[in-house]
Chain A
Amino acid sequence: MSDRLAVRKTFKLYLGGAFPRSESGRTYAVTDARGAFLANAAWASRKDARDAVVAARGAFAKWSGATAYNRGQVLYRVAEVMEGRHAQFCEEVAAGEGLSAGRARAVVDAAVDRWVWYAGWTDKLASVLGSANPVAGPFFGFSTPEPTGVVAVLAPQRSSLLGLVSVLAPVLAGGNTAVVVTSRERPLPAVTLGEVLATSDVPGGVVNLLTGDAGEIGPWLAEHDDVDAVDLTGAPPAQAMELERLAAGSIKRVLRPPAEEPDWSADPGLSRMTPFLETKTVWHPKGV
């Protein structure tokens, strides 16, 4: 063992491409699975959530307007940088989730592979979900999937990296921007993922990661008029119905929480992408 004094990290939010503290000045203690202190994480507030929505809305035009091929490359780049942080993710997942080193490695492998899988979807969605519509008239009509907009994601509480990637990557692959409330007890892999995103080519504001309490911030996001959709996966079960009611105020798309946190290693299919896609249909007359 070296006698060098370690340089500890300050864990902050990832918001609009920067790493601010919570404007509230609040932090909370994060412990490992056995209760030992790991870090003080920023405890995001309502104001942070609102700032994150502004950042996500601001980033939407460019991200949704990028070519699908470009989005695919940017997302693939994220997986490359994740791979480079593999050891760090393993440590954090092992500590937070109480997994053996081998099990943590498998989880991180799956998370990187999941990100790669979604990166490859960007330029397939329109072929798979779109259509040329054989209408009964002299018209050329086609339908394509488009991103819903700003998606608020309450990330899973237990699976701190694979679960997080499994809810975030599909939102991004479709061209949405995201405001994510991370696992409250296990936020450290999310903070590291923020650093990965900041050092890959994802434009600032496309992903905003708020460490804190989904039960506290969730309602503000669910009723925010500039949020287009909410994923309630990590919502406190007793609060899910109230969040869905709040979301109804501006006719948000709602992905309801599963009865219990699913096995994230299962093949997700399209089930986490289509809730955040709209179908646009364009008609044009044919004529000489």
Chain B
Amino acid sequence: MTSPLFEYAPAPESRSIVDVAPSYGLFVDGEFVDGSGDTLKTVNPATEEVLSEVAVGTEADVDRAVRAARRAFTRVWGPMRPADRGKYLFRIARILQERAREFAVLESLDNGKPIRESRDVDVPLAAAHFFHHAGWADKLGYAGLGPDPRPHGVAGQVIPWNFPLLMLAWKVAPALATGNTVVLKPAETTPLTALLFAQVCQQADLPPGVVNIVTGAGETGRAVVEHADVDKVAFTGSTEVGRSIARAVAGTRKVLTLELGGKAANIVFDDAPIDQAVEGIVRGIFFNQGHVCCAGSRLLVQESVHDEVIASLQRRIGTLRVGDPLDKNTDVGAINSAEQLARIRELSEIGEAEGAHRWQPACDLPDRGFWFPPTVFTDVSPAHRIARDEVFGPVLSVLTFRTPDEAVAKADNSTYGLSAGIWTEKGSRILAIADRLRAGVVWANTFNQFDPTSPFGGYKQSGYGREGGRQGLAAYLKGASH
């Protein structure tokens, strides 16, 4: 049998557009400064090549950043006319658009995601987030959050490595639009686009101290969260870390929003158009190598179409191109880190050990870098670890159901509740099932769609608070009920 892959000549995006410095300091009070602690190396996960060295922010560094943010809040950003705050955000949105290729290439280098995704999803959505929130800055009184909603002050924000620039935008844009200033800690393995964003802030003449970026790992994040002069904490990441942050802010006056893990059910009914559903399943779990908190990692397929769906899905997965993130033909890129790869491998081995059946397409993986092929587990029972734990990788667990009630029961049988998918031609069924699913985002006949106007966030242990839309503004305004 011939390979299902079409032959394509390699079409690598040039990396000459980005200029990665050998080392970076912290962005505090409008300028790059040396950190007072160690450094860490950030690597290209597709090649294991060291891209740069960045500072590991210490408590003293974080303190300096928080003090800069407080000063900027009190003296400049707080008193500024809201329309002017909006104009700065419009400027940032435009610069992101102008430098979109640079950001896309840098994101793919540092994160390992396919350039097709960083170019078509991450960067345009990040710009859209700034553009959308820019317009809110002088219209907050119309948001239904009270006649004169006020900012909290200094927001401490800690973001993950799966969508480094986009998560920055989700955090920074609403915080600034509502009049807060920011100390942001990017993920340990993906600091580079945040540091490039710092240059964008300079280019936009954003007043010093409004945005401060302190790179580092867990301890740096802890210092941001626990700093006594931080008023508002926003975190996206694992449920485990979210728990420790919720404990850390207990008993303080800090306001907290959490966007945590997920184990989304993607429910395929027997009347769904199979080809479309298969595209949705692929988009749901293999988008961004499955490093997506809302990934459709549990496929619930109606028993009568199980074999047909799986056969079609396997055929489709066989055509996915896994490899060089900078190649425009690549569908699935590199796993972000050795650590994450180890976790994906471990959970997959547990899946087999517990009796599920692992399927992977024949696919050549590069010799260097961190790679894991698209993987489908069938014969999964709801008690299996791979049906319960968030793998955060390109691993799909397939379960079956017979009735809509069973589908809902299995979908909701999770400590998480971030997202879900429904595939059926029957509109009334979509609405009824969507009503019953305990999940913050439900995609019907689509999956993994995001938009700055659309609130995103979880039920249950997937966190609380929303990002995006009118509802998302509430997180950054005092006493605001969404």
Within 8 A of B (CB), among A139-164: 139, 141, 143, 148-149
Size bin of chain B's contact surface: 35 or more
Q: Kindly list chain B residues whose C-beta atoms are within 8 Å of the C-beta of A281.
A: 440-442, 454-456, 469
Residue in B closest to A139 when the chains form the complex, CB atoms: B449
Whether the Cβ atoms of B455 and A250 lie closer than 8 Å is no
The contact of A137 among B242, B442, B449, B459, by CB within 8 Å, is B449
Whether the Cβ atoms of A141 and B451 lie closer than 8 Å is yes
Q: Kindly list chain B residues whose C-beta atoms are within 8 Å of the C-beta of A273.
A: 481
The contact of B455 among A136, A143, A245, by CB within 8 Å, is A143
Compute how far the CA of A170 lies from the CA of B305 in the bound complex, rounded to whole angstroms. 44
Whether the Cβ atoms of B482 and A129 lie closer than 8 Å is yes
Q: Kindly list chain A residues whose C-beta atoms are within 8 Å of the C-beta of B435.
A: 65
Within 8 A of A (CB), among B409-462: 415, 430-431, 434-436, 438-446, 449, 451, 453-457, 459-462
Q: Kindly list chain A residues whose C-beta atoms are within 8 Å of the C-beta of B242.
A: 251
Q: Kindly list chain A residues whose C-beta atoms are within 8 Å of the C-beta of B22.
A: none
The contact of B250 among A65, A137, A244, A284, by CB within 8 Å, is A244
Residue in B closest to A136 when the chains form the complex, CB atoms: B451
Convert A189-208 into 0s and 1s, putting 1 for each residue whose CB lies closer than 8 angstroms to a CB of B.
00000000000000000000
Q: Is A278 an interface residue (CB 8 A)?
A: yes
Whether the Cβ atoms of B454 and A245 lie closer than 8 Å is no
Whether the Cβ atoms of A269 and B439 lie closer than 8 Å is no
If A244-B250, A251-B242 touch, whether A131 touches B470 (CB-CB below 8 Å) is yes
Convert A153-193 into 0s and 1s, putting 1 for each residue whose CB lies closer than 8 angstroms to a CB of B.
00000000000000000000000000000000000000000
Q: Is A274 an interface residue (CB 8 A)?
A: yes
Q: Is B32 an interface residue (CB 8 A)?
A: no
Whether the Cβ atoms of A131 and B471 lie closer than 8 Å is yes
Q: Is B463 an interface residue (CB 8 A)?
A: yes
If A241-B251, A278-B440, A279-B455 touch, whether A228 touches B460 (CB-CB below 8 Å) is yes
Residue in A closest to B454 when the chains form the complex, CB atoms: A133
Compute how far the CA of A190 lies from the CA of B128 in the bound complex, rounded to whole angstroms. 51
Q: Is B52 an interface residue (CB 8 A)?
A: no
Q: Kindly list chain B residues whose C-beta atoms are within 8 Å of the C-beta of A245.
A: 247, 250-251
Q: Is A102 an interface residue (CB 8 A)?
A: no
If A139-B446, A279-B466, A285-B445 touch, whether A133 touches B246 (CB-CB below 8 Å) is no
The contact of B434 among A136, A242, A282, by CB within 8 Å, is A282
Q: Is B239 an interface residue (CB 8 A)?
A: yes
Q: Kindly list chain B residues whose C-beta atoms are within 8 Å of the C-beta of A254.
A: 250
Whether the Cβ atoms of B469 and A143 lie closer than 8 Å is yes
Whether the Cβ atoms of A251 and B461 lie closer than 8 Å is yes
Q: Give the number of residues in A that approach B within 8 Å (Cβ atoms).
A: 42
If A129-B471, A273-B481 touch, whether A135 touches B144 (CB-CB below 8 Å) is no
Whether the Cβ atoms of B258 and A137 lie closer than 8 Å is no
Whether the Cβ atoms of A284 and B471 lie closer than 8 Å is no
Q: Kindly list chain B residues whose C-beta atoms are within 8 Å of the C-beta of A228.
A: 460
Compute how far the CA of A141 lies from the CA of B446 in the bound complex, rounded to whole angstroms. 12
Residue in A closest to B451 when the chains form the complex, CB atoms: A135
Which of A136, A247, A275 has most B Cβ within 10 Å?
Answer: A136
Within 8 A of B (CB), among A241-262: 241-242, 244-245, 247-251, 253-254
Compute how far the CA of A72 lies from the CA of B436 in the bound complex, rounded to whole angstroms. 20
Whether the Cβ atoms of A283 and B439 lie closer than 8 Å is no
Q: Kindly list chain A residues whose C-beta atoms are within 8 Å of the C-beta of B144.
A: 128-129
Within 8 A of B (CB), among A54-68: 65
Q: Is A240 an interface residue (CB 8 A)?
A: yes
Compute how far the CA of A7 lies from the CA of B8 in the bound complex, rounded to whole angstroms. 91
Compute how far the CA of A283 lies from the CA of B464 in the bound complex, rounded to whole angstroms. 20
Compute how far the CA of A24 lies from the CA of B37 in the bound complex, rounded to whole angstroms. 57
Whether the Cβ atoms of A251 and B469 lie closer than 8 Å is no
Convert B390-417 into 0s and 1s, putting 1 for each residue whose CB lies closer than 8 angstroms to a CB of A.
0000000000000000000000000100
If A129-B482, A133-B469, A135-B449 touch, whether A253 touches B440 (CB-CB below 8 Å) is no
Q: Is B479 an interface residue (CB 8 A)?
A: yes
Whether the Cβ atoms of A283 and B443 lie closer than 8 Å is yes
If A131-B471, A143-B471 touch, whether A253 touches B461 (CB-CB below 8 Å) is no
The contact of B442 among A242, A274, A282, by CB within 8 Å, is A282
Q: Is B81 an interface residue (CB 8 A)?
A: no
Q: Kindly list chain A residues whose C-beta atoms are within 8 Å of the C-beta of B470.
A: 131
The contact of A283 among B258, B454, B466, B471, by CB within 8 Å, is B454
- Shortest beta-carbon distance from A83 to chain B in Å: 29
Compute how far the CA of A137 lies from the CA of B464 in the bound complex, rounded to whole angstroms. 26
The contact of B246 among A129, A143, A248, by CB within 8 Å, is A248
Residue in A closest to B441 when the chains form the complex, CB atoms: A281
If A131-B470, A271-B479, A279-B471 touch, whether A284 touches B457 (CB-CB below 8 Å) is no
Whether the Cβ atoms of A271 and B469 lie closer than 8 Å is no
Which of B260, B456, B470, B479 has most A Cβ within 10 Å?
Answer: B470
Q: Is A29 an interface residue (CB 8 A)?
A: no
Q: Kindly list chain A residues whose C-beta atoms are within 8 Å of the C-beta of B464.
A: 251, 253, 278
Convert B95-108 into 0s and 1s, putting 1 for each residue whose CB lies closer than 8 angstroms to a CB of A.
00000000000000
Q: Is A134 an interface residue (CB 8 A)?
A: yes
Between-chain CB contacts (< 8 Å), 21 pairs:
A65-B436, A128-B144, A129-B144, A133-B454, A137-B449, A137-B451, A139-B449, A141-B451, A149-B438, A241-B250, A245-B247, A245-B251, A247-B246, A273-B481, A274-B474, A279-B440, A279-B455, A280-B439, A282-B443, A283-B446, A284-B446
Task: Give A residues with C-beta under 8 Å from B.
Answer: 65, 128-129, 131, 133-137, 139, 141, 143, 148-149, 228, 240-242, 244-245, 247-251, 253-254, 269-271, 273-275, 277-285
Q: 11 more A-B contacts (CB under 8 A) besides A149-B438, A253-B464?
A: A131-B455, A240-B251, A245-B250, A251-B460, A251-B464, A270-B481, A274-B474, A279-B440, A279-B455, A280-B441, A281-B442
Cβ-closest 9 pairs across A and B: A241-B251, A248-B246, A274-B481, A244-B250, A135-B451, A270-B481, A133-B454, A245-B250, A251-B461
